[in-house]
Structures are given as structure tokens and as C-alpha cells.
Amino acid sequence: MVPVLPTRVIARGYSARMPQIRVVLAEDGDLLRAGVLALLEGVDDIDVVATATNLPELLASVEEHRPDVVLTDIRMPPDFTDEGIRAAGELRRTHPGIGVVALTQYSDVEYALDLIRDGSDGRGYLLKERVADVDDLVAALRTVAAGGSVIDQIVVDALMATSSRRHDSVLDRLTPRELEVLAMVARGMTNALIAGELVVTDRAVEKHINSILTKLDLPADAPVHRRVAATLVFLSEAGVGGGVAPRR
């Protein structure tokens, strides 16, 4: 069974015993960058080896220091658009073993989808407000360093708050019970928790989930973690998607 962190962050693939984790921090905001550095200074197994304030500096720092994880703002110079997502894509090609935790002010599911489009292993998506809780931030860094994946629970909750969904949605392929199960998966619930909530067997939940993944065209050999991908499909079809907040 894959554990879910008790920190309001959905995380998969976490191993509690981790060696020293080398981190490159990319953040153009002086106050936030200093705050993150101060928070991580007191964590024994986290070592921030370099900082960057723009995309070229970030990529250069990665080449020089070869960190385990990049902790990056999504929007930073030169264009303040999706530099952190672009960096993650570039690193997937050039340094696939380096994890990326992307930070954003907004619960924009399109960015989350872009982040894991080439695979969810070693990728994390957190709201910047999560940085205030060092335990959540450190848990995400450890999870991603171990090759796991993280989705901020606040992103899930915010997008599930709407009751509408798009016309001709892929979710229309699912039965009402399958939609109910998928909503529980999106909240980070394990099969056992779902079974207890619905008063059914674990086997019944497993069959529902296998049917959901098949109907959503998420085959067993898909490069993206299928439960994470199914969650993001559910959120992206919820009628909110991007545009949750104005661009910086």
C-alpha cells in the first residue's frame, strides 16, 4: 500500500529513511527565497547547495551542482510565465534522476498536468503557502528525492469545490459509483479507506479503480503514475481548470 502523508499533501512513493538531499532553490522573490533558506537550514538531511533567480541561472546551477531535487517557482524571469515547468521538462530529458518540486501561488491544474506529462515520478506541485509549514515542504522534498510524486491537497480541494464539469467530458464514461470512487482517489484516500467509506471489500474497490483507469485511457504501461493521472483528469474536467487567479 502506498502511504499518504498526514500533512494535507497527497504524496506517493515516500521512504522515511533518506540520505542527505542536495537542493537547488530557484525563486526570484528575495523575501521568499530567504525564508525558505532559513527554514531548511535547520533540517539535517536537506542541503541547499545553490540558489537561482531566473531560468538560465537555475539550469546553470543544476549543471554545476547536480542536486537531488530542484525547488522552483513556476513563474520567474525572464518571462514570468511557466519557467519552472519548462525547467522540469528540460531536466526530464537531460537529468532524469533529478526531482523537481514546483511552487505556485495559484491552484492551476493545467500546470500540474504539464508538470507530470512525461511522468509523475520525481515531481511535486505545491502552493507557495505550503512553504510556511516546514514539515510539509520537507516531506515533499524527501518524497520527490525518493522518486515519488506529490500533489498539494489544497489544489485538489479547491478544484473539487465546483459541482459542474465540461460537456462531453471523459468522466461521462464512468458510472455514478466509479465517479464516487474517483473523487475519493482524488482526495488521497487509499483503497482500504475507500472500502471502509463505501462499506465494500477492498477487492470491489480495486475492480472499480481498474475500470476507471481503463475508461480514462490510462493503461498499465502509462509513464504517469495512474492514480495521480486519474486525479488530474478528474480535476481538469471539473469545470475550473486554469485561470483560478490572475497572472503575476
Nearest to 233 by CA among 147, 189, 176, 174: 174
Q: Are 70 and 124 in contact (CB under 8 A)?
A: no
Q: Are 29 and 166 in contact (CB under 8 A)?
A: no
Q: Does 159-236 match 9-153 at the fold level? A: yes
DSSP bridge partners of 9 = 152
Q: Are 148 and 5 in contact (CB under 8 A)?
A: no
DSSP 8-state class, residue 102? E
Cell numbers at 96, concatenated? 532524469
Residue with cell 513556476: 74
Where in the chain are the domains?
Answer: 9-153, 159-236
Query: In whole angstroms, what is the distance from residue 57 CA to residue 53 CA?
Result: 7
Per-residue pLDDT of the chain (248 residues; tens, 9 = 90+): 233 333 445 555 554 555 899 999 999 999 999 999 999 998 999 999 999 999 999 999 999 999 999 999 999 999 999 999 999 999 999 999 999 999 988 767 678 778 877 777 899 999 888 888 899 899 999 999 999 888 887 666 655 554 445 556 788 888 989 988 988 887 778 899 999 989 999 999 999 999 998 888 876 665 557 777 787 777 666 543 333 332 23
Topology, domain 9-153? Rossmann fold (3.40.50)
Q: What CATH number belongs to 159-236?
A: 3.40.50.2300
